[in-house]
Chain A
Amino acid sequence: MENREFGAGPATPVPHRGPVPPRHHAGPVTVTGLAVKVVVLGLTVGIAVWAAFPLVDAGAWAGLTLLVAATAGLCYLYLTRRYVPAKYLVPGTLFLLAFQVLPVLYTVATAFTNFGDGHRGSKQEAIVAIQTASVTQVPGSTEYALAVATTGDPATGPLVFLLTDPATGTVSVGDAGGLRQLAAEDVTVDAGGRVTAARGYTLLTIGQAGARSEEITNLAVPTAGGAIRSAGLSRAYEGKAQRTYDAGCDCIRDAESGKVWTADADLGAFVAADGERLAQGWKVGVGFQNLTRVVTDPNISGPFLRTLIWNLCFAVASAGGTFALGLLCALALHSPRVRGRTIYRVLLILPYAMPSFAMLLVWRDMFNTDFGLLNNLLGMHVDWFGNAWSARAAVLLVQLWLGFPYMFLVATGALQAIPAQLTEAASVDGASRWQSFRRITLPLLLVALSPLLIASFAYNFNNFNAIYLTTEGAPFPADNPSVGATDLLITYTYRLAFGGQGAQYGFAAAISIFIFTLVAIIAAVTFRRTRQQEEVYS
């Protein structure tokens, strides 16, 4: 996909096109350039062909069309002499579109649905799941001889049941998608009718099956009247569904109790007259409900506002604190009279070279109540992460340690770029050292470094690792286990989306839209201000 048409050999002479060459004209074609181009485009086409086969096998015609169009577009772009800027922009943009823009758009779309645990698939999938889950063995159920097999690796591959019907002796393969009969010549069965080998499937040994017994117990093969489930590792039964779907009333009816749950298209769930909901629902659009819930639901808006304020403080204090300490160190070492500056600088940069994920965990363990270094050294037994304020101070201290070496490096570079004449002139005019720092050095530094400070703010605003790898949001108030004192919006969202209380992707996505808007507004305002500043000082 890259375009390297530079020539190693002498460039071929260019015919003169006029007094002024056109802006980004295509230039001469060199032999090496052409060769590199052909090789790279050939590789691209090769990769596309390789990628096409699975698409054909899966019958994914839309995907195939996209692939062919993209490949053809790339070839055209790099063979034509026009569209020079696009030649440089397209490679990165393709990755950006596929792996960043597309997921972001998908997330935004999710924010308007109830996607999450219990609301993952379509209504039909929910009905099948409800019926299958209610299957029980009743007298007279058909019993099958069962062999557990997989199409992939015995330890991780998808499981299937190979079932032999005792009456007819036919063998079928079943998974969560349903039952499918196998041709007799593809399978070998033993005297008891149990399958011992089947083409295209790997049978699990007793040990392998034992290791995955939970999955085997949970696997139910839906059939017309119910489902087939395993009873042990060698027998299976076809049970009857207690709860069945009735298309006439668009409801689920329990055969035993006679209770009826009617489909509610707004909620994406089956609801009974007494308000009871079945756990299995389906995905529906909910409009702006997720977004308004952040504001209107007092259980959410209160913690949300508190988290937002702490989040802002955390980002400002992290960016500001690291900058202040880094700048102080840079100023202190910015003098030829300080001996050993090189060794100071090397030692100060060391934290930056350490792996931050590991050092966050090390810091977490230094704050450990029972074994931690801090309590050992101080001879105390303080639960640092147990109190809201000490926990907040602790995470800020950790951020200071992780971040100041970078600011020190950057500030050192920026200090060296400030002309010495400026401060010299100030001191000749009688300015004190503080005055010349306050009035000359600092403003110049801020102009140079404010884009970095904004970037640092934006980064820390969403600094997931800083919280997740240390306090994990603790301490949590007794009445609300879903949001803790050190939680940032992003760790809070993560807990909503993946936490133990059941995934709520739709709601989590709504909060991520909030976060995005906030950061974007703050950044836009600050960028505008720094641009004005730059105009003033330059």
Chain B
Amino acid sequence: MTAVAPPRDRTDRGGPSAGPRRAHRSWVSEVGWRHLVGLLAVAFSLFPILFVVSAAVNPLGTLSSTGLVPSGGISGENFANLFARTAFGRWFLNSVLVAGLASAASVFLSALAAYAFSRMRFLGRRIGLLSLLLIQMFPQFLAIVAIFLIFSTVTDLWPEIGFNTPFGLILVYLGGALGANTWLMKGFFDTLPREIDESATMDGASHAQVFFRIMLPLVTPILAVTALLSFITTINEFLVASVFLTDTEAKTLAVGMYGLIDGERNNNFGIFAAGTLLTAVPTVLLFQFLQRYIVSGLAAGAVKG
């Protein structure tokens, strides 16, 4: 997450070229307000996280006894209880499996489609792009009743990909893959000069070689960003998962931890907070792993939408 520092800053403010007029500006109006805004924003962004950390190490483990700073001592009891009293380890593995597979597959599927939409001209291209935009706007979970009925049949026929399996859930998530990412990726593909793939084609590369050997390496930033966004969305997805996963062993983190705090919200709060911190670990690691692409990818995606 530390890659945000730009290679070079190109603002005029306070730069050497800004002219003598700027030199008289006081430090407060030039830099001071920036620190003030930064500090206030950091305080805002950190205090709920501080609260979670404080709750996670609170040996009493209740909501009412938790403050902003751990006052009653520090213990790892909540973490131990989390693994001893719940199936947290299983939920964690399920979540990483579902989110990892679903985001990887969804990035691949939408990269394929984005390549076709960006580089090829074919009948129905415009309509295809527009319908992707429209379908994406239908709140997918309102179709949850239909999805439930469809998967009741699937569970009867093929229990391996039905309810209470990670694969059924992954299939449903993949249904949303094209709608969510194709536009973002197509925008990025569009920014790559056509001369690159045209010259490769002239040299005798097939369309698949152009895609896998030339285009994919060039769009790595947007692949990283899409993968990260899709991973975060999937690991946080609650509704479809709560309909699909009812067995304790099959649950994902979102479903499992919701059940934890649903009934006993005061007493289980410490355990819940410990679980929240551990749930952030895969996302933070992924951030760390993909960090050098994040800013450039987001900016490019933002520009092209």
Interface residues of A, Cβ cutoff 8 Å to B: 2-7, 11, 13-14, 21, 23-30, 33, 51, 54-55, 58, 60, 63, 84-85, 88-89, 91-93, 95-96, 98-104, 106-107, 110, 325, 328-329, 332-338, 341-342, 344-359, 361-363, 365-366, 368, 370-373, 376-377, 401, 404-405, 409-410, 412-414, 416-420, 423-424, 427-428, 433, 448-452, 455, 458, 462, 464-465, 469, 490, 493, 497, 505, 508-509, 512, 515-516, 519-520, 523
Checking A401, A419, A508, A512 against B45 with a beta-carbon cut-off of 8 angstroms, the contacting residue is A401
Q: Answer yes or no: B104 CB below 8 A from chain A CBs.
A: no
Q: Which 8 A-B pairs have the closest CB atoms?
A: A27-B206, A413-B299, A451-B305, A99-B175, A420-B10, A103-B143, A371-B64, A512-B142
Hey, which chain B residues are within 8 Å of A452, CB to CB? 302, 305
Checking B13, B63, B295 against A413 with a beta-carbon cut-off of 8 angstroms, the contacting residue is B295
Contact indicator B265/A95 (Cβ below 8 Å): no
Number of A-B contacts (CB under 8 A): 359
Query: If A350-B49, A356-B236 touch, does A89 touch B128 (CB 8 Å cutoff)?
Result: yes
Checking A346, A370, A427, A462 against B64 with a beta-carbon cut-off of 8 angstroms, the contacting residue is A370
Contact indicator B41/A85 (Cβ below 8 Å): no
Q: Answer yes or no: B152 CB below 8 A from chain A CBs.
A: no
Contact indicator B120/A27 (Cβ below 8 Å): no
Hey, which chain A residues are within 8 Å of B149, CB to CB? 106
Contact indicator A100/B48 (Cβ below 8 Å): no
Question: Shortest distance in angstroms between A147's beta carbon and chain B's nearest beta carbon?
Answer: 25
In the docked arrangement, what's the CA distance between A359 and B62, Å? 17
Question: Shortest distance in angstroms between A397's beta carbon and chain B's nearest beta carbon?
Answer: 10
Checking A3, A358, A418, A505 against B257 with a beta-carbon cut-off of 8 angstroms, the contacting residue is A358
14 A-B pairs in the complex with CB atoms less than 8 angstroms apart: A6-B209, A7-B209, A27-B205, A28-B206, A89-B113, A99-B174, A332-B41, A349-B4, A354-B283, A362-B51, A371-B64, A373-B67, A413-B302, A516-B137
Q: Answer yes or no: B101 CB below 8 A from chain A CBs.
A: no
Contact indicator A99/B147 (Cβ below 8 Å): yes
Residues 184-206 of chain B: 1 if any A CB is under 8 Å from the residue's CB, otherwise 0? Answer: 00000000000000000110111
Q: Answer yes or no: B253 CB below 8 A from chain A CBs.
A: yes
Contact indicator B37/A332 (Cβ below 8 Å): yes
Contact indicator B34/A102 (Cβ below 8 Å): no
Q: Answer yes or no: B303 CB below 8 A from chain A CBs.
A: yes
In the docked arrangement, what's the CA distance between A381 and B31, Å? 40
Checking A409, A413, A420 against B11 with a beta-carbon cut-off of 8 angstroms, the contacting residue is A420
Hey, which chain A residues are within 8 Å of B2, CB to CB? 342, 345-346
Query: If A106-B146, A412-B295, A416-B6 touch, does A91 touch B109 (CB 8 Å cutoff)?
Result: yes
Which B residue's beta carbon lies closest to that of A156?
B247
Which A residue's beta carbon lies closest to that of B209?
A6
Interface size class of B (residues with CB under 8 A): 35 or more
Contact indicator A348/B42 (Cβ below 8 Å): yes
Query: If A100-B176, A362-B276 touch, does A92 touch B269 (CB 8 Å cutoff)?
Result: no
Hey, which chain B residues are within 8 Å of A516, CB to CB? 137-139
Checking B4, B144, B201, B304 against A342 with a beta-carbon cut-off of 8 angstroms, the contacting residue is B4
In the docked arrangement, what's the CA distance between A338 and B257, Å? 40
Q: Answer yes or no: B26 CB below 8 A from chain A CBs.
A: no
Q: Answer yes or no: B93 CB below 8 A from chain A CBs.
A: no
Q: Answer yes or no: B79 CB below 8 A from chain A CBs.
A: no
Query: If A3-B208, A107-B146 touch, does A417 touch B139 (CB 8 Å cutoff)?
Result: no
Contact indicator A84/B157 (Cβ below 8 Å): no
Q: Answer yes or no: B83 CB below 8 A from chain A CBs.
A: no
In the docked arrangement, what's the CA distance between A326 and B220, Å? 26
In the docked arrangement, what's the CA distance between A107 and B1, Å? 42
Hey, which chain A residues are within 8 Å of B31, CB to CB? 335, 337-338
Q: Answer yes or no: B222 CB below 8 A from chain A CBs.
A: no
In the docked arrangement, what's the CA distance between A54 and B254, Å? 32
Hey, which chain B residues are within 8 Å of A469, CB to CB? 238, 258
In the docked arrangement, what's the CA distance between A29 and B209, Å? 10
Q: Answer yes or no: B68 CB below 8 A from chain A CBs.
A: yes
